[in-house]
Chain A
């Protein structure tokens, strides 16, 4: 796969149509005449006129900047994770090994954080998708005030995570938080809980708050998907005798695969870096029941100055992000969208 991708990039860049299969077809739909192809090979002048060289000024500067500051930083971080860098001073690059990764496996804090990260990732994604889908289906059924409701549902998405975190910290407050006040008000006071201190509800409370913020986004993605399905699909299913529930389950939802896929990738990547939300709510020590890799990384690196250990956690997070995006990119590549 990588090989063919590379070949595609090269043929696109060099301007010499070296595709062995079929005719020489240009991207504008025309064909390259044989004489033109021949004249590009060989001489010095044509080398300078090749598409590759002439396009350099356009893509090289941004490519270099991206390479240095994004991929360079990622690479540097990976190198630091192989050192023993701690506290003040600078890293010793002479002695690289995987000791930080070994330390991770033996560290119960890391195992708990990794487990929480996976739970958050899966539960948050699934719950947000399901709620988003349900809301999208309801909004799509031609209800009144549809546009208003759509805006209302999407609005949380426009809030900063810091705002959401402070807002939900207040909602969950055991004394005057809205949830407990309402529960006591309707006579369900026994259900009232210290939601974000109780280790058994802490992670669920975080997931619920995040879902509140992101299900609106899922709704928009699903709504676009639903609108793209022709109405005669719904009608054909009704004529075929399917009940509303069965119609959605067997005919409509399977056709929303592309929407699910793209929304899921966005949600999962976000779940991996849900740092700011937790940091605002709990500071850098959310406790073992809610600690995720992102908060742990920050704590190890910037609070405890365990730079190498923090870098190693960051590298693991990066790997997880690749695992999440990888399948998506692969599907896109197979469809020829990449």
Chain B
């Protein structure tokens, strides 16, 4: 167990003379026992980052420190890490027991008896003891997943590296394994770096999440911070499902002016906007209130385009014009029914809006914090 530090690591690929920057100057401090999720869209460099920690790729520059030791130049075997692959990468010609023993046989001086007892204990913990003498080909996807986890756990490494380990499972098994994986990590207390493109996994599993885009680190924060206080436009749009509504506006004296509507702003908001002229207004779907009749200055007449019933809630796609394409989404209570074509008034409360500089993507103003304290009670 140890803390893991990524110190300005960069990975540049040479593609026929032109350089491709896969990971650009990423620095993250991961505490001992922390569960950090690296999340981002495909090609954002999250897997490359993980592979650099593993030693499967060499960093072009920067240092990786594990428990104080610089491990940057070392081969994987000298790093005291274990990795779970997306495809599990179980050795098809070996039994489950051999698969799990292999790493210990190759990297430690443990006797066969010791290895066997560690493997058996771990298999029992993962409830795969009955499968020890089978080969991977005879196992279901979920069982293979457990074996892959077991293979990493027996090594008792300083860091677990997981590369989208749940993405080959069906939805139900995935959510089950999500919980189990979290529980396991908590029990074992091993520092874990987990790569996923699925923001649900990122939100639910991570102690902290690191959001990457185009090889650049966007934000490292707890899931709720990333959700309520995104550092920039990208994070705001990436975290949350359905994603945040954005409107491109122009900052005027006392309002934001857009193609569809003008949004009056208070003095406080005006100060947050500062010199920025092109501003993006963001509002989470659940913060858009649908009311019968508009009276306030933040109420806008809209028409329901499509309703997506989810059971517990409805996603309502709204348009400012009749027959127009949906421009934004509101999430309302599942018991409230609306019909397509029905006119409704959308209220966009000022204390719930996020403002971003359209040109730089930087956050100008996040939703008010007072409310956040209430939504994140500490027991």
Contacts and interface: CB of A to CB of B under 8 A. Distances in A.
B76 A241 contact: yes
B106 A240 contact: yes
B318 interface: no
A236 B75 CA distance: 13
Nearest to B56: A235
A73 B311 CA distance: 77
Interface in B62-113: 75-77, 81-83, 85-87, 89-93, 102-103, 106-107
A238 interface: yes
A244 B90 CA distance: 18
Interface in B109-151: 151
B56 A239 contact: yes
B85 A232 contact: yes
A241 B77 contact: yes
A230 interface: yes
B220 interface: no
A334 to B, nearest CB: 15
Interface residues of A, number: 18
Nearest to B163: A232
A232 B89 contact: yes
Contacts of B103: 239-241
A226 to B, nearest CB: 14
Contacts of A233: 89, 91
Contacts of A242: 77, 102, 106
Interface stretch (A17-25, A216-224, A248-256, A287-295): A248-256
B77 A255 contact: no
B54 A239 contact: yes
A237 B92 CA distance: 12
Nearest to B92: A255
B76 A254 contact: no
Given A232-B87, A246-B106, A250-B102, A239 B93 contact: no
A338 B75 CA distance: 46
Nearest to A255: B93
A338 B316 CA distance: 58
Contacts, number: 60
Interface residues of B, number: 23
A236 B83 contact: yes
A259 to B, nearest CB: 13
Given A232-B87, A250-B102, A239 B81 contact: yes
Contact of A236 (B55, B81, B85, B93): B85
B193 to A, nearest CB: 13
Contact of B93 (A237, A238, A246, A254): A254
Contact of B91 (A235, A236, A246, A257): A236
A243 B91 CA distance: 16
A250 B56 CA distance: 19
A117 to B, nearest CB: 33
Contacts of A243: 77, 106
Listed residue (B54, B77, B85, B89) with the most chain A CB atoms within 10 angstroms of its CB: B89
Nearest to B101: A240
Contact of A240 (B75, B86, B93, B102): B102
A238 B91 contact: no
A305 to B, nearest CB: 54
Contact of B89 (A235, A246, A254): A235
Nearest to A247: B106
A238 B77 contact: yes
Contacts of B81: 239
A230 to B, nearest CB: 6
A303 to B, nearest CB: 50
A242 B107 CA distance: 7
Contacts of A238: 55-56, 75-77
Interface string A88-117: 000000000000000000000000000000
Contacts of B75: 238
A236 B89 contact: yes
Contacts of A232: 85-87, 89
A239 B87 contact: no
Contacts of B82: 239
B87 A230 contact: yes
B149 to A, nearest CB: 13
Contacts of A246: 106
A255 B90 CA distance: 12
Given A236-B83, A240-B155, 18 more contacts: A233-B89, A235-B85, A236-B85, A238-B75, A239-B54, A239-B56, A239-B76, A239-B77, A240-B103, A240-B106, A240-B107, A241-B77, A241-B103, A242-B77, A250-B102, A251-B102, A255-B93, A257-B93
Q: Which 8 pairs of residues, A with B, have the shortest CB-CB distance?
A: A241-B107, A240-B103, A236-B89, A241-B77, A232-B89, A241-B106, A242-B106, A254-B93
